[in-house]
Amino acid sequence: MRHVRVRGPRGAEHGVVEDGVVVLGGGERIEPLDLETLALPEPWELLLPVEPPEVWCAGVTYERSRDARVGESAAKDVYELVYDAERPELFLKDAGLRRTVGPGAAVGVRADSAWNVPEPEIGLVLGERGTVVGYTVGNDVSSREIEGANPLYLPQAKVYAGACALGPAVLVTDEADPEFAIELRITDAGGAELFQGETSTARMKRGFRELAGWLARDNPVPAGSVLLTGTGLVPADDFTLEPGHTVEIRVPGIGTLVNTVVVATDLLERST
């Protein structure tokens, strides 16, 4: 079952997607304008499907991601070693929802980087002690230029205004180890397609529960947090995200996360 959060005349409410409509807790039914993005008619607004107190990321979980980061980095052995190691790469992406946006909102790219990319990923919604209670779609927007210059610059490459997007829904399933197809499409301001690609979580080197287990080791991750599980889709090295682009990440069974792109500095100015 897919769970969503919406805002309407009564404020924020929880809903579930059943038979092509969003059913709110009181029984009210809203027909989405689009079943993939779950965009809603006015006066309803689709919100982040979960409000994670923390967002974490796992890196180098696909061979394609390892190859891309080896190619961009001056310290190639770092990424080759972590791909084959028992311990995964894990890092904090956000806390307190200061850098995470929902469906339809704008993600940011750093003004001090000339090479920025989306990273489409499956997000694990975590319960107590790292249990996996749901799945969502995530975009771990990153500066490949900054990270490639030095791995110690990872926080600056990954953590800034609008660097993360989640949505449009959280899938709750009894399936122990679900596999997901992930499709990425990027268009320019005029709607022309700039990039299209797809992958599958079947290509991951590490499983969802393995990654969540490592995150919870000696680490008091609060329930409701999200762990993004790495990307297997990397645009060519001559591509960079620019303001005006639109990023669409489609995961059948969950939905399509759509976000426009702006300069992160603009997001900071809007919040002041």
Strands 164-171 and 21-24: unpaired
The answer to whether 51 touches 31, Cβ cutoff 8 Å, is no
Domain with CATH 2.30.30 in the chain: 2-46
Tell me which of 1.10.10, 2.30.30, 2.60.40, 2.60.120 is the CATH number of domain 2-46. Answer: 2.30.30
Q: Is 222 helix (H, G, I), strand (E, B) or coil?
A: coil
Domain 54-271 top-level CATH class = alpha beta
Name which of 209, 241, 59, 29 is nearest 130 in CA terms: 209
Domain with CATH 3.90.850.10 in the chain: 54-271
- Each residue's pLDDT tens digit in the chain (272 positions)? 999 999 999 999 999 999 999 999 999 999 999 999 999 999 999 999 999 999 999 999 998 665 665 556 555 578 888 888 999 999 999 999 999 999 999 999 999 999 999 999 999 999 999 999 999 999 999 999 999 999 999 999 999 999 999 999 999 999 988 999 999 999 999 999 999 999 999 999 999 999 999 999 999 999 999 999 999 998 999 999 999 999 999 999 999 999 999 999 999 988 76
SS3 content of the chain, % helix, strand, coil (to 5): 20, 40, 40
- Nearest-angstrom CA–CA distance, 96 and 19: 34
Name the packing angle between helices 63-72 and 76-84 (round to 10°): 160
List strands edge to edge, sheet with 246-251.
106-109, 255-263, 246-251, 181-187, 193-200
Chain-centre distance of CA 221, in angstroms? 18
- Nearest-angstrom CA–CA distance, 30 and 159: 35
